[in-house]
Amino acid sequence: MSSRLSVRALRKSFGATRALAGVDFDAAAGEVHALVGENGAGKSTLVEILAGSLRPDEGEMALDGSPYRPSGPLDAAVRGVAMVHQELSLVPHLGAVENVWLGREPVRGGLLDRERMRRTSAAAMAMLGHSEVDLDVPVRRLPVAVQQVVEIARAIARPNTRVLILDEPTSSLARGDVERLFATLGRLRSEGLAIIYISHVLEEVQAIADRVTVLRDGTTVGSGAIADVSATAMVSMMAGRDVAEIFPRSPRTAGAVVLEVTGLAGALKPLAAGFELRAGEILGIGGLVGSGRTELLRAIFGLDPVVRGAVRVRALASPASPWRRLAEGVGLLSEDRKGEGLALALSVADNLTLSRLTGLGPPGFVLPGRQAAVADSWMGRLGIRAASASQPVRHLSGGNQQKVALARLLYHDVDVLLLDEPTRGIDVASKAQIYELIDALAKSGKAVLLVSSYLPELLGVCDRVAIMARGRLGPPRPVGDLTEHGLLMEAMGQS
């Protein structure tokens, strides 16, 4: 395979922070090349440079043998390099057609060539397996998974695209959408595109990639054919050490019931859910996207209305609201880390202490020094990597942001943790740290209700697992009695 895009000794710094320290990378025509590494390893900086959003400080780039140094994203796109960001960049009030063609609308006779726009957009959506989507509906009214498909359609609809960069493209997709995406990538690969695929899900990397490059601390630490690099080897290169056991499991014994849910139904979902959660136990909830798992946690926490049924915390039933639940020792970690879980403009210290300011100063006041001391303590305990407690949380990597959100619950000293997709979008090493933390919490007597789309995570971390299918929660069962295949069949309603 010929080299389509090559990078040599690429360097980039932001002030005193060195993001790239000499990266070498090659993407060939007709291949899917995976780019993996921990949060903060330099992946995002590298692809932002490739896509024209950033300029390198040093280094050389070439596209099909010619020097490549785009002046901006539009220049990169014109030269055939398209990027699909993990964070959606659609115009919410416009339809799919307008979003697919945004910034490069074709003109015929001085007027927009709407027929061409619709024809090309429809073909791109059909290629991605979503020909049923109404192209005129504002994209804000489409499910997030379909919005992600529109984002990808915008990239592949460009006839001159030679390099396609996908940053965590499956983070919002259901299994069926993932399979359709992989089929599409296979067709694009056969047509000679170079596809750069960024993902924290190593199973996806092994399933779709031809080659893999591993970054650590801004440098290339390994590269090779995917058939020659095991998942264990990738993790070891990413972490710079052997990760012997990603799912730690300490001996623990379930105690008294601390959360009891009976016949719970929400306005839309769940339709019916019931279970008991005990102290010192990790209970997992699996199911397909849209099955009602998130709605269940939100109803328990008092964010969504309850139509019928009861939620009892330590045998006491009371009107639900987030503040009441927190007072009862129940905390929620939202799946939407950036939209709901954190105040991105505020500091690490503010985010960590926001729900419990008492004790940080005289009544009605917060002493910055005392707040910083508390934040520093929790940053050390959870291994949160930040310049200081005053750093805005938006500048942290995804894994460190998630640790801040978890630290807030621990600082609040909740006894029941409702964790919705706690490891989504973070690297393998950070996942291992969070698994270790969850295991330690259960061992200390905390009760954990964990929602996850990742079946190995449910089987590796939890004591019991229940599956949500079409809004109804099945009975929890010990993980020793379960398999990935069985859980998937149950989630699809085939059990």
In terms of residues, how long is the chain? Answer: 495
For residue 493, the model assigns a pLDDT of 74
d(CA 196, CA 47): 9
Give 310's strand partners.
Answer: 262
The bridge status of strand 273-278 relative to strand 257-266 is antiparallel
For residue 242, the model assigns a pLDDT of 56
For residue 59, the model assigns a pLDDT of 94
Cα separation values, 86 from 83, 273, 285, Å = 10, 32, 25
Q: What angle, 0 to 180 degrees and rounded to 10, lies between the N-to-C axes of helices 398-411 and 428-443?
A: 10
For residue 39, the model assigns a pLDDT of 67
Domain residue ranges in the chain? 3-239, 257-491
Contact 1, 189 (CB under 8 A): no
DSSP string, 68-85: ---SSHHHHHHTTEEEE-
Query: What residues contact 327, with CB distance under 8 A and at least 6 apart?
Result: none
CATH architecture type of domain 257-491 = 3-Layer(aba) Sandwich (3.40)
Cα separation values, 198 from 54, 179, 189, Å = 18, 16, 16
d(CA 204, CA 377): 37
CATH classification of 3-239, choosing from 3.40.50.300, 3.40.50.1820, 3.90.79.10, 3.30.420.40?
3.40.50.300
Does 3-239 match 257-491 in CATH topology?
A: yes
CA 400 to chain centroid, in Å, comes to 13
Residue whose entry in the numeric block shows the structure tokens 């299918």: 469
For residue 1, the model assigns a pLDDT of 59
d(CA 193, CA 386): 38
For residue 495, the model assigns a pLDDT of 61
Q: Residue 131 corresponds to which tokens in the numbers above?
A: 């020909």
d(CA 375, CA 348): 7
Q: Residue 382 corresponds to which tokens in the numbers above?
A: 């959870």
The bridge status of strand 257-266 relative to strand 163-167 is unpaired
Give 317's strand partners.
Answer: 312
For residue 414, the model assigns a pLDDT of 95
Contact 9, 22 (CB under 8 A): yes
Half-sphere exposure of 329 toward its Cβ, with a 13 Å CA cutoff? 14
pLDDT in 10s for each residue of the chain, 495 residues: 578 999 999 999 887 678 899 999 999 999 999 998 876 788 889 999 999 999 999 999 999 999 999 999 889 988 999 898 877 788 989 999 999 888 888 888 888 888 899 999 998 888 887 888 899 999 988 877 788 888 888 888 887 889 999 988 887 677 777 888 888 888 889 989 999 999 878 888 999 999 999 998 889 999 999 999 888 788 778 777 555 567 888 999 999 999 999 999 998 899 999 999 999 999 999 987 778 999 999 999 999 999 999 999 997 887 789 999 999 999 999 988 888 889 999 999 999 999 999 889 998 899 999 999 999 999 998 888 888 999 999 888 777 888 999 999 999 999 999 999 998 777 777 788 889 999 999 999 999 999 998 888 899 999 999 999 989 999 999 999 998 888 878 887 766
From the list 32, 36, 38, 41, the residue with the least C-alpha distance to 12 is 41
CB atoms within 10 A of CB 285: 29
From the list 209, 238, 241, the residue with the least C-alpha distance to 225 is 209
